[in-house]
Amino acid sequence: MNFKRKFLTDVFGINRILGIIGFGLGGYEAYTWACEYPDEMEFLIVANSSYKTNGYRYTVSKAINNIIDTSDDYFDKIYSEQISKIIISIYSIIYSQYLPKKVFQNFTPDEIDLFMDDFLEEGLSVDIYDFKYRNDAILRYNVEDKLSNIKAKTLVVGDSEDLYYNPEFDIYPLEEKIENIETYVFNTQTPIFYQNYSKFENIFKKLLDEFKK
């Protein structure tokens, strides 16, 4: 976050941005930026994300770290085939909470296998050392005590069926923590939601129209 902030200043001479948009893990950075530098933006948009790692998410990240830390191959200097197998195990855990609840419930075992195979194949392109660095950061992530610092007009959207980012814990509490906020919760029952945020399009446009120069 600070690197990007410094980059904007040093390269483009930008000391204040119009707004920040963050999805998923990108929302972590967006929340942090808005909390740490509340006077440097006009709006904040976050989708399917959270302001802290606790409970279910902490358990998932801790389990992933346990898989990595108990592997001798991770500490080897050579990136072996076994490390790729570790990634497969990790991405199997991630896949288990990647789609909405009703999607999993309505899938046949063959459909689950099909989507899972594609998901695991994407994981093979992930560098495990970079992944571990990010996972360690996720375990420590918590800006709950700083949310009241946010001055930007805030829009937070999510999915009622999401397993990983649950509106009950990750959206509705924000209504008492951020002064100028709007929240929207969709009920999505198809996996396309995770590759296509067009369902949010009208809501995004409505907020962004307020900031047209």
- In order along its 213 residues, the chain shows pLDDT tens digits of 677 777 778 887 888 889 999 988 999 999 999 999 999 999 999 998 999 999 989 999 999 999 999 888 888 777 777 888 899 999 999 998 887 888 888 889 998 899 899 989 988 888 899 999 999 999 999 999 999 999 999 999 988 888 889 999 999 999 999 999 999 998 766 554 454 566 677 888 888 888 876
Query: What letter represents residue 65's amino acid?
Result: N
CA-angle at 28, arms to 53 and 123, nearest 5°? 80
**Residue 49: its pLDDT value, please?**
93
Arch. (CATH architecture) of 2-52+144-209: 3-Layer(aba) Sandwich (3.40)
User: Which residues in the chain are classed under CATH 3.40.50.1820?
Assistant: 2-52+144-209
**Residue 199: its pLDDT value, please?**
67
**Residue 200: its pLDDT value, please?**
73
**Residue 13: its pLDDT value, please?**
82
**Residue 198: its pLDDT value, please?**
66
**Residue 192: its pLDDT value, please?**
44
Q: Within 13 Å, how many C-alpha atoms sit on residue 106's CB side?
A: 10
**Residue 197: its pLDDT value, please?**
60
